């Protein structure tokens, strides 16, 4: 995936109940997709809490935030409740979306098929405006750069 590409559509279970279909979210505003390796891990917790704490800024610029990992929807729901997250997490348990976006580790510390920490901004039509993929699972995305693109 590169800037200018059309983002692959998907439908995934959401911690808000039901499923989220990307093409149904398009047109409502820009979308920030945040792929992360593991719920309940320290770095992922730090990232998700940063998003939670800055959600008013994302809302003000009409950006929808969706977190995606290969964790089960049950683990994600428990994590959302524990952290009091104010945006949905989507379960890519079958690893199809992470693979389609090119953000799947073959092996991360002995775990096969884990989402790489990455960020994609999609415009209202589903084109990629911004993409960032880290090979280092401890490196966080630059939220200020993301907000600048979203503005």
State pLDDT tens for residues 88-139: 999 999 999 999 999 999 999 999 999 999 999 999 999 999 999 999 999 9
Which residue is it, tokens 């977190």?
Answer: 67
Task: Give the CATH number, domain containing residue 136.
Answer: 3.40.30.10
Is 31 within a domain? yes
Is 15 within a domain? no
Is 17 within a domain? no
Q: Which residues contact 57 (CB under 8 A, 6 or more apart)?
A: 147
Is 2 within a domain? no
Is 125 within a domain? yes
Is 128 within a domain? yes
Domain around 30:
26-150
Active-site residue (options: 31, 44, 146, 150)? 44
Q: Is 44 a catalytic residue?
A: yes
Give the residue among 83, 61, 62 at the shortest CA–CA distance from 15.
Answer: 83
Q: How many domains does the chain have?
A: 1
State pLDDT tens for residues 56-83: 999 998 899 999 999 999 999 999 999 9
Instruction: Provide the CA 102 distance to its chain's centre, in angstroms.
Output: 13
> Would you state the pLDDT for residue 62?
87
């Amino acid at each position: 995936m590169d800037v200018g590409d059309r983002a692959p559509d998907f439908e995934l279970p959401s911690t808000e109940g039901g499923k989220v279909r990307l093409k149904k979210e398009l047109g409502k505003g820009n979308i920030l997709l945040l792929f992360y390796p593991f719920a309940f891990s320290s770095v992922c917790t730090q990232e998700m809490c940063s998003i939670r704490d800055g959600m008013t800024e994302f809302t003000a610029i009409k950006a929808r935030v969706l977190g995606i990992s290969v964790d089960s929807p049950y683990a994600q729901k428990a994590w959302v409740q524990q952290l009091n997250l104010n945006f949905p997490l989507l379960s890519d348990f079958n690893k199809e979306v992470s693979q389609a976006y090119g953000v799947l580790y073959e092996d991360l510390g002995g775990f096969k098929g884990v989402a790489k920490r990455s960020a994609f901004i999609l415009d209202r039509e589903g084109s990629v405006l911004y993409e960032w993929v880290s090979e280092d699972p401890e490196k966080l995305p630059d939220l200020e750069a993301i907000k600048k693109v979203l503005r």
